[in-house]
Structure 1
Amino acid sequence: MAVLEVLVGMKKIYSLKIKIILPVFFILILVFLSSSLVIFDREYNSAKSSLLESAESYSSLSAATMVNNYNYYYESGFYQFNQIVEDVMKLNKNVYQIIIMNINGKILFDTNEIIEKTKYDEATFGERYIENDELMERITSSSSTMQIFENKQYMEIVYPYIDEWGRHDYSLRYFFYISSLEEIKGEMISTTFISSTIFIIISFLLIFAIFNRFITKPVGELITGVRWMSKGKLGSEVKARSRDEIGELTSAFNKMTMDLKESQDSLKEYSENLEKLVTKRTEELEDKTANLEKINKDLVKARKELNTLNKNLEIRIKERTKEVEQLLQQKDEFINQLSHDLKSPLMPLTVLIPVLEKQETNAKKIEILQVLNRNVQYMKNISIKTLELAKLNSPNTKFSLEEIDIKYELTRIIQNKADLLKSKKIEIKNNINKKIIVKADKLRLEELVSNLIENSVKYSEEFGKITIDAIKEKNHVKISIKDTGLGMTKEQIKHAFEEFYKADKSRHDFESSGLGMTICKKIIERHNGKIWIESPGLGKGITVHFTLPLYKDDT
């Protein structure tokens, strides 16, 4: 406030300085504060992510130790087990409670027993069970889950323990303090405030001195010269003190005063010649005005004709648009009805044929029923895929775009396909090791990736390999799914996205409708992305690339 009062008192003398310094000064403050806030937010989020990753890592590394030692020592050596638990908890200063439970929700051990220095007596107090349904779902889940309670300054992780035989008998609940985040935030705010204050003061003093020395004083001398000129003292020179732009301006001013003095003498002569020229130009303008009026009348007539044509054209466009909309609506209704008419008779067949197959004892009839069942399933798949493709082609189909972490989403889809991958002993590797946020429809994205993974498994031999990568490129991310399957020729790649196209036409593939890659292409196009296939040749696998738009804050 004191600095502003000084500036206000000096504004009559240094008005130019005030007008220039204040905007620059305030812009400097805004830029510095904005950059400080960005750095503060980034560092805070980095600290938070580090804390969460540390907690997740601690949970995954300590789960086996906790469960194995519980089985070995809890009943026979409780105090030795307590010592092991205390040593484990010392590895992370933020953990304050660990609970071991079986998948039935029974609490087997609570670190509060260590605090009370006594083993829980089930015979006296009864067995302890989890009664929260939501928590029970997390306990029985085969993947770890996390909940953060920032208001209460703690977070909870439920981690499943899966033994070397793949059994899931135990889950552990970890409780961590997150109050250290508030301490970090306070330190960062204090540091930012102090550095901002020092920077602002130094910047103000430096800017004030520079403007006073190099701008205000030379400009004041120029103003004095201009005042002399306004009084008719042409030819008065101002002394140039520097060789910068203001010095050049001073030299130009001095030259201008001399030129004005010379021009003043010849001004009368120019005035007389100008009067004659104006008279001549006036006569020419009158002739041109008459011609312009004639042209204007022709333009008015042409404008009226053009308006009439535009109105007729608009009527025709509206009629054609209405016809097209009706045709599109009729097409959607036809496809929907066709799909329904195809699925309606197929549904009872898909249920009854397996029943008949189980009841039939004649081997030849069983074989006929199996062939019939495959064909029915094929027809059902064709009708479903056709309806899905029609919906994607329809302009009435809307996508629900949202923020999606591509690493997390692909990991979830891979877990859902675990049984399919195990059926052919396929190894899948997700190389996406950092968080990438895209803007996409979650259900459509899952359908796309599932389709591509299923194709890779279908056309790969046992013990094959699938690799997933992602690279950020400007405002989108390129995702690649590579396999070691049958591969494709250039001619097959050329037709891969065509409807009902099958690369191997020599066999009738009941598992393929020939529409999968077409649907994938439509999904990507509705996201304003691209999809393409690369393959070194037959027997060398393929790589499917596709792009998705990055979420605005992640570009």
Structure 2
Amino acid sequence: MPKNFFNSARISEEHLAIALAQVKLGFWELDLETKLIECTDQNRVNFHLSPNEIITEQTIIDSILPEDRWRREEGLKQAMNPETPTYDFEVRVRHYDNKIHWLQVRGTVIFEQTKPVRIIGTTIDISDKKGVEILRDELLNITTHELKSPLSVVKGYLQLLQKFITKTGDSKHQLIAERAITASGKVERLMEEMTIGRLHDQSEMILKKEEVNLEELALEVISNTNLTSHDFELTLSVNTENLTVIADRYRIAQVLTNLVNNAIKYSPGESKVEIEIARENRNIKVSVIDNGIGISETEQTKVFEKFYRVEDTSRIAQGSGIGLFLCSEIIAHHGGEIKIEANPKGKGTVAHFSLPLQIEG
């Protein structure tokens, strides 16, 4: 045995540990019988787990944001087939500083004959890799949103002007109004295509937090929506006195506007959408309720995936499949939760999000 063998081995091990820490790569192994997981320190860091904590499969599931857990379930389900024993997916976890981290999880199922006995795999924190895209995407998102809001208002006024001109019988100016509305529609489509082509997952989001009165914000969203959706009645009910949250007003308006627009789009033949604001423990909950086509239980979490479209909805309304993804990102970065469920009072859906309440004292 060479004289410096053990010293060289120690140095190599130290170098390997440093290299794995630098790339944030963790290793793990799951025993499918005991459900216990053995892993490296870096894997604990990736999932924000304490150094001496006993890790089980449920521990890892609980560490993943609820709206991302279905990705793990689907990947694992496919990997339980000996012909396709590997999986690769991305999920979000929340660290102690309340920041969202993206992890890429890869695994291989080990079989004894045809029985799966354990899974070995890796996790890597890919938040930094995504960070390069943040500034570009933030600028794009802000620009398109800031253009879409006034454009919707302009289009609403053009439609009102067209109705007025139609009553006068002035065919020349009616044609001008129609062409202006058509042109505004083309601009909307162009902005949608820009967003689809450039949007990426975000590991961080710039928030400008301030005190926000959610009742005032909801009334503002209703007023803007009424300009473009004349056939729908939007109502607001408030069941709490404390309506103040610390949040990014523009971002929360973006979420509420998207949920209201979805409720309208997917409620053909209906004419009413309700918004409710209520206290829920130390949170304030905002719900958007419709009587539309509804959503299946299996798709209630999938709709928050980027570019996901509910099956058989393209005949009802067009969409890019990014709206709810953005809503999920915004609420997650505010420390809240967002869900879409079947309407318990009948047909349709209830989309709701909760935010930490600003409590005095």
With normalisation by structure 2, the TM-score equals: 0.49
Higher strand share: 2
| Highest RCO, 1 vs 2 (Cα 8 Å, sep ≥ 6) | 2
Higher helix share: 1
